[in-house]
Structure 1
Amino acid sequence: MEASLERQIGFLLETDKLKEVVRLNQLAGGNRRETTAEHCWHVILQTLTLAGHALPGTDIHHVIKLLAVHDLVEIDAGDHWVTDANRADIKAREQAAAERLFGLLPDDQASEFKGLWLEFEAGETPEARFANAMDALHPMVLVFASGQPEPTHEPLSADTMRQTKEARLSPFPGLWTYAQDLLAKAVRDGRLLP
C-alpha cells in the first residue's frame, strides 16, 4: 500500500473512535446519550435541511466540511460544557488532539483538515458562523424540541443557555427566535430552570 493511503486509512481507523465518545445530551427519544459521531452526522443533516437560513452566498458544501471535522478532537479531549473555569484547559486539550489526529494524515491533508478545524473554531467566515450556529442549535433541538416529558439536560438555567448560544445563533434571526422559543417552552414545561 502506498504510504499516503496507509496514513489516510490509519486516520480513518483512529477517527472511528468518535463513535465511542458519549456526549452530555440525550437523543431526542430520551433513552440514552448520543455519541459525538451521531452528533456530527445529525448536525450535517440538519445543516442540509436548514441551509435556507444561511446568509446569501454561504457555501454550504464548505459548511459541511467544517462540521465533518469540527468535533474530531473530542476523541482525545472528550465532550464538555465549556465554562470560564475550564475554557483554557479544554482549549489546550483540543489543540493537542488536533495536532495528534490531523498529524496522522499525509501533510497536505493534515494541513487542510487542521485548517478547517481552526476556521470552525475562529468562527469568522460566513461558513464558520453558520456551522457554529448549526452546532449550537443541534443539542437544543434534540433536548427541547423532542417533547420528552422528563428533563433531558444537565441542570442549567435558560438564562445561562441563552447567554451561551446567543453569539452563535443571533446572526440568523429565524433560528435565534426558534431557539429562544425552545428555551421558554422548556422553562414553562419545567424541563429547564428559568
Structure 2
Amino acid sequence: MQTDNLLRQVSFIKEIDKLKYIQRKTKLFNSDRNENDAEHSWHLAMMTIVLAEHSDKPIDVLKVLKMVLIHDIVEIDAGDIFLYDSVINHTNTDEELIAAKRIFGLLPSEQAEEFIAIWTEFEDGLTDEAKFAKSMDRFEPLLQNSSNNGGTWAEFNVPYEKVYEKKKAIKEGSTSIWNYAENLIDESVKKGILKKSTDQ
C-alpha cells in the first residue's frame, strides 16, 4: 500500500511540473517577462508567511499555504483566465472542478479528497483562511502592475473602476493590507499608469 501511495504521489509531482509552463498575463516586478503559475504560487506562499500577522482574523497559516500552493494547479487543464477578461468569466468553476478531480485524483484517495476540499474552500472564499489566501492572490499582481508602469492595466486598457472592484476583495482578509493597496491604486491613478474610465 505504501509503495502504491508513493507511485501515485510521484505521478502527481511529475504532473504538476506542467504548472511552470502556464503563463500569466502579469509580469515579474520591474520586468517585461511574464510570470508563470508556479512562480505566482511560490510568491503567494512567501507572502502568506511574511504577511500573516496582518490577517484580520486568526488563521491556520499551514492551511492558507496549502490553498495558495494548489489553487492554480487546475489551470494545467483549464488554462489561466485573465482576471479582467471581458469575454470569459474569471470564475470558471465547472471546468476547473473537472480539472481538480483529474489532477488531484492522481494522488492516493485520502490526499486527493483533502486537496479537492482545500481547493473548493479557496474557491468558495468563505472561511478566514480562504479570505486571506484570496487577499494574497489579489495583492501580488497589484504590486507587480504598479512596479511595471501599469503592466497589464495599461496593456489591456483596464480602467481604475474595474481594478478597484476586483481588488477590494483584499479587504475581506486584511484591512491593513487593503488600506495599503487602496493607496497604491490611488497613487497609480495620480501617476497616470491607471486611468479612470472617464479619462480613456
Task: Determine if the TM-score, normalized by the shorter chain, exceeds 0.5.
Answer: yes
- 157-166 or 108-117: bigger deviation: 157-166
8 Å CA contact retained: 1:120, 1:132: yes
CA deviation string 1:124-181 (max 9, x = no partner):
111111111111111101111x2x4x43113211110111121343452211111111
Matching residue's letter, 1:11: F
Deviation, structure 1 residue 88? 8.2
- Structure 1: distance between partners of 2:130 and 2:24: 22
- Structure 2: distance between partners of 1:168 and 1:174: 9
Partner residue of 2:41? 40
Q: How many residues align?
A: 191
- Structure 2: distance between partners of 1:139 and 1:88: 15
Matching residue's letter, 1:132: K
- Structure 1: distance between partners of 2:64 and 2:3: 31
Partner residue of 2:130? 128
8 Å CA contact retained: 1:137, 1:169: no
Q: Structure 2 vs 1, CA of residues 43 and 89 (structure 1 numbering), >3 Å: closer, same or farther?
A: closer
- Structure 2: distance between partners of 1:73 and 1:168: 22
Alignment of 1:30-109 (within 5 A): 30-82=31-83, 85-87=87-89, 90-109=92-111
Q: Secondary structure at the match of 1:155?
A: coil
Partner residue of 1:14? 15
Q: Structure 2 vs 1, CA of residues 176 and 88 (structure 1 numbering), >3 Å: closer, same or farther?
A: closer
Structure 2 unaligned regions, length at least 5: none
Identity %: 37
8 Å CA contact retained: 2:142, 2:181: yes
Structure 1 unaligned regions, length at least 5: none
- Structure 2: distance between partners of 1:75 and 1:169: 29
Partner residue of 1:162? 164
8 Å CA contact retained: 1:30, 1:152: no
8 Å CA contact retained: 2:56, 2:175: no
Deviation, structure 1 residue 92? 2.2
- Structure 2: distance between partners of 1:170 and 1:159: 18
Q: Secondary structure at the match of 2:25?
A: strand
Matching residue's letter, 1:53: H
TM (norm. structure 1) is 0.91
- Structure 2: distance between partners of 1:163 and 1:89: 15
Matching residue's letter, 2:141: P
Partner residue of 2:25? 24
Matching residue's letter, 1:185: E
8 Å CA contact retained: 1:27, 1:34: yes
Q: Secondary structure at the match of 1:80?
A: coil
Matching residue's letter, 2:131: R
Q: Structure 2 vs 1, CA of residues 131 and 104 (structure 1 numbering), >3 Å: closer, same or farther?
A: same
Q: Structure 2 vs 1, CA of residues 167 and 29 (structure 1 numbering), >3 Å: closer, same or farther?
A: closer
Which runs of 4 or more aligned residues in structure 1 lie more than 4 Å from their structure 2 counterparts after TM superposition?
A: 82-85
8 Å CA contact retained: 1:66, 1:116: yes
